[in-house]
Amino acid sequence: MTAPPRTGARIVEATSPVLVLTTALHTVLVTACVSTWVTFLVGLVVGIVSEETGVLEGFDPLFRDAAGVLLITGFVLAVLTPAAAIVRRFALLPAVERLHGSDSEAVPPLEARTLLAKSPADGVRLAGTVLVWLGLGLVALFLLAIAVGGLWDNAAAWVLTACAGALFIVGVLLSWLGTALLRAFDPRMQALEKLWRRLVPTAVAREKIQRSRLPEAQLPRILQASSSPAMRVGGMVLAGVMGVGGIVLFASVYLRQPCRTCDERYWDEPVERGIDGLSLFGGTMLIIGAVALALVWAGFVVSRIRVERALLRWLDAAGPSRIDDERARALLTLPTALGAVAVTLAFLGTSTLIAAFALLAGDAAGAVPTGMLVSALALIVAAVLIELIGQRRQVRLRERLRDTTWPGDVLAEAEKEGART
């Protein structure tokens, strides 16, 4: 039987359509950042191996064309990802206020309270401060380069200086906007702080009392295990394989070119053959590690599906019951299977998009890789949509779990235990 909704002082999930959307966008953007770095590292490894062994001779020009694409992608993501995090905090504030307005005894969980420990406007002011100093530094750097290099007639140098100046101006405007928003949001933040100071201890104490009265839960075995032993062993093996591969590959690069400004070294035939072998071995180990990582991730997605199904079956069948704090924390922070699928699609979509633009930048004939571009955009859009559904599903799962087990503020208690140790 399904547990009835709780009433009285308690911890309740705060959500809204805008909050779900901004959280999904932030997750996809963070994944895109990781994908960009991984694409760069994989391209670097494959480029070194191809140069040393003569395999995939056409890859090196492609990777050079991708360098500009990677820089532009990294810059765009460096702007959009923090912006999405700030917008998410702005979306969280009205969601929490609506929660308190609809239920005077409801308290949002620790994650929401932590995100709102400072005003969302503080993020705007911080972003402005960063841009101000970054713009000033770049302007000074470009002016120094113009003066030292005698680039007074170089239009590109002045364009870059003007862009840095524009960055400084944007930073000043954001700092002013953030300060104004801080003053505007201050009454709302003070009201929340006062409300939480009164409600949080009451809600936490009541949930502890309610939980102590519940019978102990009989969780399925799949919900009791923290992680699959096979996945733990696979992760350790994967770390070892990729670590050995990275060390061997670095050794081959060092033997070939000890420093960035050094000339390439060529050795007698036995040593030269050994360097080629080291490059091939190290690159192969890293590629095997990457394939193994993909398999481990696929296993993780499958395990999330199984765990989520088991949790839903248990919630449908179980009445109010008590689980230990460790299990409660694990289940409340459980990533959904849809979330894992969305991360996978966002990762693949970003890598495909970078590869498509690299081909476009390096194609002298001007042919557009339409299929790759469409596929990449479709993967990214699908990732956002699936993450939207996954976020809504995760909120519902958390609320059902709270209705059944009365876990209280176990995440806050875990932080206190960590601080004591």
Q: Examine residue 222 and state whether it is found in any structural domain, yes or no.
A: no
pLDDT tens across 357-402, in order? 887 776 544 555 788 888 999 999 999 999 999 999 999 999 988 8
Write out the H or E segment, with its range, that includes residue 259: none
Cβ of 145: how many Cβ atoms within 10 Å? Answer: 15
Whether the pLDDT of residue 1 is over 60: the answer is no
Write out the H or E segment, with its range, that includes residue 217: none
**Percentage of the chain with pLDDT > 90?**
28
Whether 202 and 288 share a structural domain: no
Beta bridge partners of 10: 106
Strand 10-11 and strand 106-107: the pairing is parallel
Q: Examine residue 312 and state whether it is found in any structural domain, yes or no.
A: no
Cβ of 70: how many Cβ atoms within 10 Å? Answer: 18
Containing structural domain, residue 293: 227-303
Least confidently predicted of 5-9, 71-75, 333-337: 5-9
Cα atoms in the 13 Å half-sphere on the side-chain side of 136: 7
Domain end, chosen from 303, 333, 364, is at 303
pLDDT tens across 91-143, in order? 999 999 999 888 888 889 988 999 998 899 999 999 999 999 998 998 898 88
pLDDT at 252: 66
What are the DSSP E strand ranges found in 240-353?
A: none
Least confidently predicted of 22-36, 164-178, 281-295, 342-356: 281-295
pLDDT at 365: 47
Average pLDDT over residues 75-104: 92
Whether 213 and 275 share a structural domain: no
Pure H helices in 318-369: 325-332, 337-362
Q: Examine residue 55 and state whether it is found in any structural domain, yes or no.
A: yes
Q: Examine residue 90 and state whether it is found in any structural domain, yes or no.
A: yes
Highest mean pLDDT among 35-49, 53-67, 192-206, 238-252: 192-206
pLDDT at 132: 92
pLDDT at 419: 41
Least confidently predicted of 300-309, 329-338, 357-366: 357-366
Instruction: Name the DSSP class of 213.
Output: T
Whether 176 and 95 share a structural domain: yes
Report angle CA 171, 126, 93 to the nearest 5 degrees. 120
Nearest to 29 by CA among 69, 62, 76: 76
Q: Examine residue 5 and state whether it is found in any structural domain, yes or no.
A: no
Distance CA 385, CA 378 (A): 11
Nearest to 96 by CA among 69, 116, 77: 116
pLDDT at 182: 92
Whether 280 and 389 share a structural domain: no
pLDDT at 2: 57
Judge whether 3 and 404 are in contact, CB under 8 Å. Answer: yes
Q: Examine residue 4 and state whether it is found in any structural domain, yes or no.
A: no
Beta bridge partners of 107: 11
Whether 369 and 404 share a structural domain: yes
pLDDT tens across 12-63, in order? 889 999 999 999 999 999 999 999 998 888 777 777 666 655 555 666 677 7
Whether 46 and 166 share a structural domain: yes
Whether the pLDDT of residue 258 is over 70: the answer is no
Whether 363 and 385 share a structural domain: yes
Number of domains in the chain: 2
Distance CA 380, CA 377 (A): 5
Nearest to 414 by CA among 332, 353, 301: 332
Average pLDDT over residues 242-264: 64
pLDDT at 413: 54
Q: What is the dihedral of CA 91, 94, 97, 101, to 10 degrees?
A: -130
Whether 42 and 146 share a structural domain: yes
Distance CA 177, CA 361 (A): 38
pLDDT at 234: 65
Whether 46 and 191 share a structural domain: yes
pLDDT at 88: 95
pLDDT tens across 138-187, in order? 889 888 888 887 778 788 888 888 988 998 999 999 999 999 999 999 99
Domain end, chosen from 303, 330, 346, is at 303
pLDDT at 384: 95
Whether 334 and 244 share a structural domain: no
What is the pLDDT of the chain when averaged over all its residues? 81
Of 406 and 228, more confident: 406
Judge whether 88 and 19 are in contact, CB under 8 Å. Answer: yes
Instruction: Name the DSSP class of 46.
Output: H
Judge whether 335 and 17 are in contact, CB under 8 Å. Answer: no
pLDDT band at 299 (very low <50, low <70, confident <90, very high): confident
pLDDT at 212: 84
Question: Phi, psi (5° rounding) for residue 221?
Answer: -60, -35
Domain end, chosen from 253, 274, 303, is at 303
Q: Examine residue 1 and state whether it is found in any structural domain, yes or no.
A: no
Whether 35 and 108 share a structural domain: yes
Distance CA 304, CA 331 (A): 11
Q: Residue 150: left (phi > 0), alpha (psi -120 to 50), or beta?
A: left
Whether 207 and 244 share a structural domain: no
Judge whether 93 and 195 are in contact, CB under 8 Å. Answer: no
Whose tokens are 């895109």? That residue is: 32
Judge whether 123 and 89 are in contact, CB under 8 Å. Answer: yes
Q: Examine residue 329 and state whether it is found in any structural domain, yes or no.
A: yes
